[in-house]
């Protein structure tokens, strides 16, 4: 198996896996704009993408954890969806996007990507909760993704999606054989909702790695937006070789990196 990751920025990563080119959560807008979120909250984009869609080149499919927050799908990313033959996202997200080739999944659901000259790629939606208990009605539906080749039991890549660390995520992590985990961190907070958290931080990431025991872990989605309360420096201070056994790999934006 050959796996190369290119971090574009935020949650946006080009996944190259045995001939497949898969893009996660496309965000390509320039920095400087403030976007509204739920309950009157907002966030400003502070960094642009490392690559443009033209520089990125064609992709086989997009894995979209959710469509209703601009830090996971902005205007430029939404425009890119029309050029992609397969988009996998949440069930309500698929209805809103309403493009040919869009598939909506709930946690536990699967979809198999097939293409000539490539191995079948099974995409399984994994559980996410993008906030505290009982917040789903406000923050909306979110999923992560587990990628497996040729229906093997091992997960080649788990993309956690935007989630806090809760029981269903812990159960998935501890009950599957993992090769690589792409962790969405950043500890999202908004001044309007005080100490409430809407994504994992490095402390959660450390616990997740103890449960999943992957060969490699790659943190993303901790920079580029004003709503992150734990940036790279803070995450690096906890996810050290001493604490993780040297499995954490940090990506340089725009640089294809074998993992």
Name the band, by pLDDT with cuts 50, 70 and 90, for residue 39: confident
| 204-213 core/surface letters (b: 16 or more CB in 10 A; e: else) | bbbebbebbe
Q: Which residues are CB-contacts of 137 (< 8 A; sequence separation ≥ 6)? A: none
Whether pLDDT at 105 is above 70: yes
CB-facing half-sphere around the CA of 66: CA atoms within 13 A: 22
The DSSP secondary structure of 120-189, one letter per residue, reads -EEEEEEE---SSTT-HHHH---EEEEEEETT-SSEEEEE--S----HHHHHHHHHS-EEEEEEE-S-B-
Distance of CA 207 to the CA centre of its chain: 18
pTM metric for this prediction: 0.96
- Complete domains list, the chain, with CATH: 3-258 (3.60.15.10)
pLDDT at 150: 72
| pLDDT tens-digit readout, 136-166 | 888 999 999 999 997 667 899 999 999 999 9
Comparing CA positions, the residue from 220, 216, 218, 211 lying closest to residue 247 is 216
pLDDT per position as a tens digit, 218-258: 999 999 999 999 999 999 999 999 999 899 999 999 999 99
d(CA 187, CA 143): 17
pLDDT > 70 fraction of the chain, expressed in percent and rounded: 98
Quick one: pLDDT at residue 151? 61
Cα–Cα dist 62/14, whole Å: 9
Cα–Cα distance measured from residue 100 to residue 32, given in angstroms and rounded to the nearest whole number? 32
State the maximum Cα–Cα separation within the chain, in Å, rounded to a whole number: 51
Q: Is the pLDDT of residue 1 over 90?
A: no
> Is the CA virtual torsion 234, 130, 69, 65 positive or negative?
positive
- Interhelix angle for 202-212 vs 167-175, to 10°? 40
- Please give the average per-residue pLDDT across 156-179, as a whole number: 97
Q: Quick one: which of 48, 223, 195, 19 has its CA closest to 118?
A: 19
Specify the range with the lowest mean pLDDT, choosing from 14-23, 60-69, 203-212, 239-248: 239-248
């Amino acid at each position: 198996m050959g796996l190369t990751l290119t971090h574009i920025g935020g949650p946006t990563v080009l996944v190259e896996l045995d001939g497949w080119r898969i893009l996660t959560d496309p965000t390509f807008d320039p920095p400087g704009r403030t976007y509204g979120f739920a309950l009157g909250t907002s966030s400003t984009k502070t960094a642009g993408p490392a690559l443009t869609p033209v520089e990125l080149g064609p992709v086989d499919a997009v894995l979209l954890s959710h469509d209703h927050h601009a830090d996971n799908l902005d205007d430029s990313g939404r425009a890119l969806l029309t050029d992609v033959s397969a988009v996998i996202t949440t069930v309500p997200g698929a209805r809103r996007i309403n493009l040919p080739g869009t598939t909506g999944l709930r946690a536990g659901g699967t979809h198999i990507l097939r293409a000539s000259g490539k191995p079948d790629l099974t995409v399984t939606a994994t559980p996410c909760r993008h906030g505290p208990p009982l917040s789903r009605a406000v923050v909306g539906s979110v999923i992560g993704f587990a990628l497996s080749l040729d229906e093997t039991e091992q997960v080649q890549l788990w993309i956690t999606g935007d989630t806090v660390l809760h029981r269903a995520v812990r159960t998935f992590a501890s009950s599957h054989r993992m090769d690589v985990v792409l962790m969405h961190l950043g500890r999202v907070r908004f001044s309007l909702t005080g100490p409430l958290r809407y994504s994992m931080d490095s402390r959660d990431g450390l616990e997740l790695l103890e449960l999943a025991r992957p060969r490699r872990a790659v943190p993303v989605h901790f920079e580029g937006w004003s709503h992150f309360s734990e940036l790279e420096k803070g995450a690096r201070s906890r996810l050290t070789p001493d604490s993780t056994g040297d499995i954490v790999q940090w990506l340089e934006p725009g640089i294809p990196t074998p993992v």
